[in-house]
Structure 1
C-alpha cells in the first residue's frame, strides 16, 4: 500500500486495522447487499465479517432482490452474496451480459424453491404430490378471500418466481396471495400446521422448515429454459412457465470493477463456500431459537477460523 497517497485520517485508520494476511487495496467501503430472509443475511454477514478481519471497510446495504442489479451495474452496490438459480438466474444473466456485473462463482449451497404442502393435505387431495391432483382439489386449499379458488401462499412479491404465470399456464384453480415478509410466510405455515388447516405455499431450501414439518414439494413438469422462454415447449403450447421452478446453485455476483479496486476481496468472496446443512443449522438458530445473526455468525467464525483464513490469504 502506498501510504503517502492516503490522507492523514485514513492513514491512521489503515495503520490501526488488524489484517489477517494482507494489506487492503482501498479503504473505500465495499457495499454488500442484504435482503429480507435470514439465510441471506447470515451469508452476507459471514462474508462481511471475514472481509473486515482482512482490513476492508464493509457497508451493508438493504436492497431489493431483483432491483439490486441496477446498483450492481453502476457500481453503487458492489456485492450480492445470494442469487438463487431458482428465481434470480434471468436477472443475473442479463446483468452479466451488460459487462458491468460478474459472477464470483457458486456459494456451495444448492437452491430448491417450489410449491410445498403438509402431508396431512394428502387425505383431502389424493394424487399429491403430482401437480395434476391440484386440478381436482384446488378448492380444498381455499380460504375466505379466495374461495372457490384455492389459495397459494406465495413469497414476498419482490422475490419473483412466476407463480401467477404457472397457474395460468397449467390452468390451476388457484389465486396467489403473497406473504408480506419471509417471517410472515413461515408464521402462517406454523399456524396452519398446528391446526391441520389447509395450506400450500412457497418453501425453499436451505431452510429449517423442510426438516421441521412433514410435507412434500409439488412435482410439476420438469423445468427447462425453453419452458420459461418458448410457449411451444411444454404441455401447454400456448403458454410459457408450464413447468416447475429450476433447481441449482446459489451464486455470488459483483460489480465488474470489484476485482480491479479490491482484488483481495474479490478473491475472498470467490472462495466463500458453505453447505446447505451448515446454512440450515444457522437459520434454525436465528429463526427458531431466537439467537441473533451476530451471535450465530460469531460462533461460525470461531469454529471455522482456519477455513475462512484461507479465503483471505
Structure 2
C-alpha cells in the first residue's frame, strides 16, 4: 500500500504523515468515473446485505451513485451480472453456488473478484439436547432409525422427521439428499432466512425438536449449543456421478461442500468504474467481525445501514488503502 511504503522510506514521522495526507486525495481523483449507478445486489440473508451496504457506503463516500436492487441469488450469476443489470454481488458461496459460478465463468461476461475472507460451512444442524433423543448423532446414519426420525418429527411430518431447509432459492439439494440416503425425513423450506432462525430460537428456548440448515459465517453457531450432522464427505463426483457413494443409483448421497465465499461483478465494471472495482477486489472482512455485526442486526434490531456506517467510520484507513 502507498501509505505503508511512505512510512518505511521516510525517516521523519511528521514528513511521512504530511506526505500521506497529500497523496490520499490523489488516489480517488478519478472517482467517480461515471455517474451511472453501481447496482449492488441484495439477497435474502443478513451478512450479504450488510457487506453490500458497507461496500456501497464506501462508494457513496467517494461520490458514486449506488443502487441496491433485490435479486435472485443463483440466477443473478447467469443473468443480471452477465448483462450489467447488476454490477456486483458481495457473497456467492462455493457451498451452494458452485455450479452457478462455473456457468457464470463460462459466459466470460462476469468476473470472480476473489474471496471475501470467511470460509463457508453449511449443513444440517441440531441442538445438543437432541442427542439424548437420537443416540448416535452426529453420525448421519443415526437419522435412519425410526425412533430418531420420530424424535425430530412434528404434527405435520410424523412419523417422519422434519428438516427445516433454507429458502428454495438457496438450493442445496436437501430434497435429493433425503431420497439418496434413505432418510425418513420431510424437507420443509423456510420462506426467509429470518423466519428460519426465528423458528430455531423458539424451539431452542422450549427444547423442542428441530433439525435445520445452519451456516457459518453466522451468529447462530455461537449463540446456540449444537452440532452439524456428519454426512459422507462431499466430493465433486457425489454431485455428478450416481455410482459414487453408498447409493449407486442416485447423486447427492453425501454432505454439502465447504469452501470460500466469492465476490462477483459484471465484466464491464473494471473499465467503467476502475476505482470502485479496485476497492471491490480488495474488500475483505473477518469472520468474527461479520458474525458480530450480523448479530447486531438480527438480534439487537439495528438497521443494516447503521451497522455499515459504524464500520465505515471506524475503518476509514482500511478502505482508503483498498483504492491505493
The TM tier, using the shorter chain, reads over 0.9
Which residue, 29, 38, 45 being the options, matches 2:53?
Answer: 45
1:59 aligns with 2:67: yes
Shift in Å, 1:224: 0.8
1:173 aligns with 2:184: yes
1:280 match: secondary structure: helix
Q: How does 1:90-169 map to 2 (within 5 A)?
A: 90-136=99-145, 137-169=148-180
Closer/same/farther in 2, CA of residues 249 and 284 from structure 1, 3 Å limit: same
Q: Deviations over 1:50-89 (max 9, x none)?
A: 1122222111111111121211111111101100011111
For structure 2, the residue ranges without an aligned partner over 5 or more in a row are: 1-24
1:85 aligns with 2:94: yes
Farther off after superposition, 51-60 or 86-95: 51-60
**Residue matched to 1:274:** 285
Preserved contact between residue 127 and residue 133 of structure 1 (Cα < 8 Å): yes
Shift in Å, 1:19: 9.1
Preserved contact between residue 234 and residue 257 of structure 2 (Cα < 8 Å): yes
**Residue matched to 2:194:** 183
Partners of 1:19 and 1:140 in 2: how far apart? 64
Greater per-residue helix proportion: 2
Partners of 2:61 and 2:29 in 1: how far apart? 10
TM-score scaled by structure 2? 0.89
Preserved contact between residue 93 and residue 120 of structure 2 (Cα < 8 Å): yes
Q: How does 1:218-257 map to 2 (within 5 A)?
A: 218-257=229-268
Preserved contact between residue 28 and residue 275 of structure 2 (Cα < 8 Å): no
What root-mean-square deviation, in Å, do the aligned CA atoms of Structure 1 and Structure 2 show? 1.3
1:231 match: secondary structure: coil
**Residue matched to 1:3:** none
Shift in Å, 1:31: 0.8
Shift in Å, 1:20: 6.9
For structure 1, the residue ranges without an aligned partner over 5 or more in a row are: 1-17
1:31 aligns with 2:43: no
For these two proteins, the number of residue pairs brought into alignment is 296
